[in-house]
Structure 1
Amino acid sequence: MYAENHGLIGNYFFDPKFNEVYQLRDRSKVEDARFYGGEPIWVTAEKQGLRTASYFWVGTEAPIGDQQPSIWKRYDHDFPFEARIDSVIKWFRMPEQIRPRLVMLYFHEPDGAGHRYGPKSSETQIMVESMDSLLGSILTKIKYLDIYPDLNVVVTSDHGMAQTSFKRQIPLKKYIDMEYIKMEGSGPYSFLSSASINKLEDAYNTLRKIPHLTVYLKNDIPDRWHFKNHYRIKDLLVLADEGWTVVETDHGPLSYMSKGTHGYDNSLRSMHAIFLAQGPAFKINYSASVIKNIDIYPLIAHILKLESFPGIDGRLENVQGLLKQ
């Protein structure tokens, strides 16, 4: 689903109905089903009698629709990658009556390296090669499973990464009076709101003149982003050009700042994610044009012979060409 429909508009946001802040580092919020709209694929599967399992997949720690995967793990950032893989292999060796039909496995790399060192750094290159080897390990180990001939594997991500620098900051406090402006988030974009319409209008009129910055009133946010029709999205969206960073105050060269990030215009090549698939359901040696992540839900639902949740935004016909049948 699009962000304006499922409601997770960022890793940090204020919910005016709950009068609470959601942030990824707060476990109580991550595990609070109230923040999640729509229906994830594992909930759809469990409701229709198919067991699922998750190793750190985002959202599975919350009982969305009073439902969680049959097997799930509370996130542990430092838990070894190989140990996660070994657990997944064990799940696939379970007796058929309790074996999960859908297993989701998450790794935080190379995202972590991309943020820390930048996507073009040698350190990130090394991490990408390491994760490529890890994928090779997965593909090797699953070949020894009895269910291997029936196993479909999908590799994907939710974003790309762009190079940033402390030399390319846009400190809003340099241009507008932040005393009456509430700023939500920083990085490629930020939301601004205020109890004073006049203060907000002044901020809008000033910031729209700033280089490397685009400012949208909520109703003017481009429809193609599907990022405005939700009550959690605030009055102004401030979006930086690729590689630039929106901050409240200037971060000097001695302050820590991410050297890579994501959240820019999703039409940029640097924001595109990976998608690989293999298995009996998929064509062999087939390359597709760009696909949308929202279409992965109906793709998986089709393979598992599930009836899709009616509120999804994805469409099977958009990715039907990936399949043998």
Structure 2
Amino acid sequence: MFRSFVHTAAVCSALLLASCASVTDAGSAPEAKAQPERVLLIGLDGLRADALDMYDAPTLEALAERGARAERMIPVMPSKTFVNFYSIATGLYPENHGMTENAPYDREARTGFVNPMSAQDPFWWQGEPIWTTAEREGLTSAIMFWLGSEVAHDGLRPSIWTPYQHDKPYQERVDEVLAWYDAPAEDQPRLAAVYFDRVDSVAHRNGPENEAVAEAVADVDGYVAQLVAGLEARDLLETTNIIIVSDHGMAELSDERIVAVDDWIDFERVYSPHMEGRWGAGAQPYIFLFSEDGDQAAIDEAHDAINASGNEHVMAYKAGEMPDHYHLDHPTRGPDLLVVAEAGWSLVAPSLEQSPRRIIPGNHGYDNMDPVMGATFIAAGPRFDGVGEVAAFENVNVYLMIACALGLDPAETDGDPAEVARVTGGRCPAQ
């Protein structure tokens, strides 16, 4: 409904992709090439799985037509940015990598994640990111703004990394990434990654189906076009696996779709980082509750009150009793009680608010199996060309796809090699 014409450079890049890139038969191994296989991972925050069906994005469409596109990529729970981009990097569920939300609270350490300081504190970042695997095996990695890339893992860092700079112009990001490939061949990154937040920021402010989002999608599509054209100009396109991922989708919110939780939760006996933390109470898609001083009765009472309320727009789950697909029972950062709103609804606690919070037009964090939380996955290159559309899969499989493309011995992950084989058209082994 919001498809529109965008600038000629993106269109030309799309045509270039469709015409010049070689296609390998699905199910066969890539032909040996003089240049080594590479991966360029591009993170587009908040790009919902159906974005290409609603908005004009010729470069992304050309990559999808040439390679593989998922019906949707299933985020981990909660469907938040830090959680999911780190699951993509590590191939692990939150219960195993510790980034259980954008600002996790650790009940054992009795402390919470605070940005930007905690971004460089190894305490918060468990598991092994794909760039650490690459560096351990002697491959150069260059990572710009990917979550978890600012800390050393087992003493290893990406060969090139930089602290997050939210206001760094996108053109500078693109120019810097392409400059990495101007180094001598032996110094060029085999694994590179870059992140763009614009679609998420715009969709929060305007809702997911809005002309402003169409413009944001066209904008990032143009920068992807520059990256593709830059690889082509350097004769690297045919040996590079370009993997486009987002972290989550987006739901439309309304001031009329709110659930007040005060009557069910005694905030004197439990702690909620979302309602009592650094930023105070606010409208939330979910809330974590931790018992104060081991007061399990307070957790049980809140759980029973919510689920007996008859309100069909909210559910509560105790630790160890969450749906199987949540994977949130981290030993020190998983909540004692998880309260989740239906997609498009907001949880509020008026008794804790100093003033009523405005409900933003768009948000995420809801049940990861809900289609509106579906993320984008598009890939083109030696491991993906000719695959076409694939059924939904979990984002914890992306780590194994990258490891396969780079010939790495992967760390232990929660990914499924059979799923990786399916998404790569059999070019990565099922076991």
Same fold flag (TM > 0.5): yes
The answer on whether the counterparts of 1:33 and 1:65 sit within 8 Å (CA) in structure 2 is no
Report the alpha carbon displacement of residue 80 of structure 1 after superposing the two structures with TM: 0.8
Which of 148, 152, 155 is equivalent to 1:66? 155
Report the alpha carbon displacement of residue 269 of structure 1 after superposing the two structures with TM: 0.8
State how far apart, in whole Å, the 1-side matches of 2:423 and 2:404 are. 12
Which of 290, 311, 316 is equivalent to 1:193? 290
State how far apart, in whole Å, the 2-side matches of 1:254 and 1:21 are. 25
Report the alpha carbon displacement of residue 140 of structure 1 after superposing the two structures with TM: 2.1
Identity %: 32
State how far apart, in whole Å, the 1-side matches of 2:356 and 2:343 are. 23
Report whether the alignment pairs 1:180 with 2:281: no
Distance 1:199 1:321, change over 3 A: closer
Report the alpha carbon displacement of residue 47 of structure 1 after superposing the two structures with TM: 0.7
The answer on whether the counterparts of 1:149 and 1:280 sit within 8 Å (CA) in structure 2 is yes
For 2:414, give the aligned amino acid.
D
Report whether the alignment pairs 1:8 with 2:110: no
State how far apart, in whole Å, the 2-side matches of 1:252 and 1:117 are. 25
Report whether the alignment pairs 1:127 with 2:127: no
The answer on whether the counterparts of 2:228 and 2:237 sit within 8 Å (CA) in structure 1 is no
SS in 1 for 2:152: coil
Partner of 2:56: none
State how far apart, in whole Å, the 2-side matches of 1:253 and 1:21 are. 24
For 1:257, give the aligned amino acid.
I
For 1:238, give the aligned amino acid.
V
Partner of 1:151: 240
SS in 2 for 1:114: helix
For 1:83, give the aligned amino acid.
E
**Matched pairs, number:** 322
For 2:365, give the aligned amino acid.
G
Report the alpha carbon displacement of residue 110 of structure 1 after superposing the two structures with TM: 0.4
Q: Which ranges in structure 1 are unaligned for 5 or more consecutive residues?
A: none
Report whether the alignment pairs 1:227 with 2:324: no
State how far apart, in whole Å, the 2-side matches of 1:246 and 1:34 are. 30
Counterparts of 1:15-164 in structure 2, within 5 Å, are 15-23=106-114, 26-164=115-253
For 2:111, give the aligned amino acid.
E
TM-score by length of 2: 0.71
Report whether the alignment pairs 1:202 with 2:301: yes
For 1:219, give the aligned amino acid.
G
Report the alpha carbon displacement of residue 301 of structure 1 after superposing the two structures with TM: 0.3
Partner of 1:305: 407
| Cα displacement string for residues 257-285 of structure 1 (whole angstroms, at most 9, x for unaligned residues) | 32211111111111111111111222326
Runs of 4+ in structure 1 off by over 4 angstroms are 250-254
State how far apart, in whole Å, the 1-side matches of 2:398 and 2:314 are. 32
SS in 2 for 1:136: helix
State how far apart, in whole Å, the 1-side matches of 2:196 and 2:267 are. 38
State how far apart, in whole Å, the 2-side matches of 1:21 and 1:115 are. 24
The answer on whether the counterparts of 2:350 and 2:356 sit within 8 Å (CA) in structure 1 is no
Distance 1:259 1:174, change over 3 A: farther
SS in 2 for 1:110: helix
Greater shift, 132-141 or 60-69, is seen at: 132-141
Report the alpha carbon displacement of residue 175 of structure 1 after superposing the two structures with TM: 4.0
Report the alpha carbon displacement of residue 256 of structure 1 after superposing the two structures with TM: 3.7
The answer on whether the counterparts of 2:130 and 2:399 sit within 8 Å (CA) in structure 1 is yes
